[in-house]
Amino acid sequence: MSSVVHPTTLVNDPERLEALLKEIPKEPGVYFMKDSREQTLYIGKSKCLRTRVRSYFRDFHGHMPRITVMVMQIVDIEFIVTDTEAEALALEANLIKQHQPHFNVLLKDDKKYPYLCVTWSEDYPRIFITRKRRQSPKDRYYGPYVDVGLLRSTLNLVKRIFPLRQRPQPMHRDRPCLNYDMGRCPGVCQQLISPADYHKTLQRVVMVFQGRTTELVDILTQQMERAAEDLKFEQAARLRDQIRGLERLCADQKVALPDDTVSRDAIALAADEKHACVQIFQVRAGRLVGRLGFVADAESGPPADILQRVLEAHYQSVEAVEIPAVILSQYELPEGEILSEYLSQRRGRKVSIEVPQRQTKANLIEMVERNAQYELARTQAAADRNTQALQDLAIVLDLPDLPKRIEGYDISHIQGADAVASQVVFVDGMPAKQHYRHYKIKNPAVQAGHSDDFASMAEVIRRRFRRYAADPDQPRLGHPDWPDLVMIDGGKGQLSAVVEVLREMNLLQDLNLVSLAKKREELFLPGESLPLVTEPDQPGVQLLRRLRDEAHRFALSFHRKKRSDRLRRSRLSDIPGLGQHRQKELLAAFRSIDYIREASPEQLATVPGIGPQLAQTIYEYFHPQADPSDDRDRSA
């Protein structure tokens, strides 16, 4: 494996490029593209590493713009050889999750479609709908689902059929809430059910979202009959009610298809020049049990390549039992055999990938494509509105091009206390939350009772762009991390502070700046004493207001969290012998200061690291004893 990083890009050093290509074997494996800062730009796989890597540099100006930009930044290539193409596919998936390379982002993370999350990392897992996938390896995500209304109704019905945890936090310290009395919750807050038994219940629930409802009904039917034979009529009645609820759930899935003996997924897309809307229909036992949606970058490759990458990303995140026997594809996949072999190994049985041409299977693909076209039309309408706003903004600010990446900054504090800042990013007029950042203000002059928004904003901008100032040769314009426009929340004062910092860093000439004053929604440019002449309802001004409001929301939420953590720690920090680690253990066990106050010394002593003596100290801190002399005085 190559490991020496050179400052010169490979496209500008043909001799080193050719020598490096000769080192790469003609075997299956995974390759890494790296830039001058040793950051991984792209991770890919191939059944012939040398041929694939060489293809990037052969007439690279003829590639799509996205690939051309990447190739121009490559200074080194590393590789890992595998025995088979299927192993390379599995290794590539793990490495992409680990490194998160910028140019591997095929699917746009715009939170358009929701997921269903099950937090298996907890003793009593929660099940809820979310638009953000966290990185816990134990938690499971199902989706993304196109029809959020159907997803919510399904989850609500499941929570009525099975007794599940209903609240993220318990309502009462020492007793269950009304959900337990109604049979909606098994009393997890008081541990009235063991984690093992609760996991068994949740495993049945998960089968619904895996498309295995029919299999679950069969299992419950067998258990009901066995309970009736054993004269356990109450248990049999509960199972009967669950079966009826699941049958009602199946009845709501109105699209029925012939050949109910085969499980299959069907994938198709509809694309324009920029967007590709991909849909996967999950068919189990002749019924459409799930409709998943993905939004991809159409410039990332031809339709067949996009379908290949979507299928790889989707099936790498599901359990083996969810992989169907047949996958129907709109186009012939470029590496369909590799994917089929990989999925067959995971499933333990043959998985075939087909491109249907006629009859029932072709009709299914046409239905999937038609739904993808409707999603594309909605995406195009939203994109047109954003484009109109970006065009108007470019005219108002006299920008040479449409601002693709816009960054907004805001400061949040209460009279200088718990001062924080936010950086939010809009890409193509839409929030790109994976690029959001928080900053804790480190300026010692900014403290409780003394605030300085100008100095705080200057500090944040300095920290954001200091790596570009430290490396003048680092590419700026066109770099994916470099903003086309920076918006400062505030008036001329905040803008002047930012201008001064960027001038010191020799970056002012490369950045477009604008500030948005809150009172009159006025726009100010550097060096201009008067605001720009604009209308409040202009599309470009509305876009900046959405950016400002998002920056304010993001900064405020972080400030509130920081303040809440400080207040919680300040109370516990007054207790002798209670350090930071033990404070965290207490809060993890009791969730709040109020519950810690209500706990007995025996309950406190059960927390790891809290012995009987310290537990008594904590209890006495929250329950101080009155002075006996005071009692005598009052009785007199």
Which residue from 59, 32, 30 is spatially nearest to 45, judged by alpha carbons? 30
- 263 and 325 Cβ atoms separated by less than 8 Å: yes
- The C-alpha atoms of residue 141 and residue 394 are separated, in whole angstroms, by 40
Most trustworthy range by pLDDT among 64-68, 239-243, 621-625? 239-243
Q: Within a 10 A sphere around the Cβ of 399, how many other Cβ atoms?
A: 16
Q: State the DSSP code for 627.
A: P
User: Starting from the edge strand earliest in sequence, which strands make up the sheet with 115-118, in order?
Assistant: 127-130, 115-118, 140-142
pLDDT digits (tens, 9 = 90+) for 248-278: 766 555 445 555 567 889 999 999 888 899 9
* pLDDT of the residue at 625: 67
The pLDDT of residue 254 is 44
Position 167 scores a pLDDT of: 81
Residue 636, pLDDT above cutoff 60: no
Query: pLDDT digit string (tens) for 475-493?
Result: 676 677 899 999 999 888 8
The answer to whether the beta carbons of residues 254 and 334 sit under 8 Å apart is no
Read off the pLDDT of residues 340-397 as tens digits, 9 standing for 90 and up: 999 998 899 999 999 998 878 888 899 999 999 998 998 888 888 888 999 999 999 9
pLDDT of residue 259: 58
Nearest to 113 by CA among 288, 265, 295: 295
Average pLDDT over residues 38-48: 89
Whether the CB-CB separation of 554 and 424 falls below 8 Å is answered with yes
CATH architecture type of domain 398-562: 2-Layer Sandwich (3.30)
Assigned superfamily of 10-104? GIY-YIG endonuclease (3.40.1440.10)
In the beta sheet, which residues pair with residue 249? none
- SS3 (DSSP) at 185: coil
From the list 40, 63, 49, the residue with the least C-alpha distance to 20 is: 49
Q: What is the mean pLDDT of the chain?
A: 85
Query: Whose CA is closest to 572, among 606, 614, 618, 605?
Result: 618
In the chain, where does the domain assigned CATH 3.30.420.340 lie?
398-562
Question: Hey, what are 317's tokens?
Answer: 């995140």
pLDDT for 557-615, tens place per residue? 999 988 887 776 667 877 888 887 888 888 888 877 778 888 888 889 888 888 899 99
Lookup: tokens for 229: 């034979």
Contacts of 480 (CB under 8 A, 6+ apart): 69, 102, 405
User: Which residues does 479 contact at the CB level (< 8 Å), separation at least 6?
Assistant: none
The fold adopted by the segment(s) 264-378 is: Nucleotidyltransferase; domain 5 (3.30.420)
Q: Give the pLDDT confidence score for residue 7 in this predicted structure.
A: 62
| pTM summary value | 0.64
Q: Is 536 exposed, middle or buried (0-12, 13-18, 19+ CB in 10 A)?
A: exposed
Mean pLDDT of 534-561: 91
Which residue intervals of the chain bear CATH 3.40.1440.10?
Answer: 10-104
Q: What pLDDT is recorded for position 635?
A: 33
Cα–Cα nearest to 167, from 156, 179, 182, 155 = 179
The C-alpha atoms of residue 70 and residue 32 are separated, in whole angstroms, by 12
Cis peptide before 144 (omega within 30 of 0): yes
Nearest to 186 by CA among 209, 204, 162, 208: 162
Per-residue pLDDT tens over the stretch 289-346: 788 998 888 877 889 999 998 998 888 888 888 899 999 999 999 989 889 999 998 8
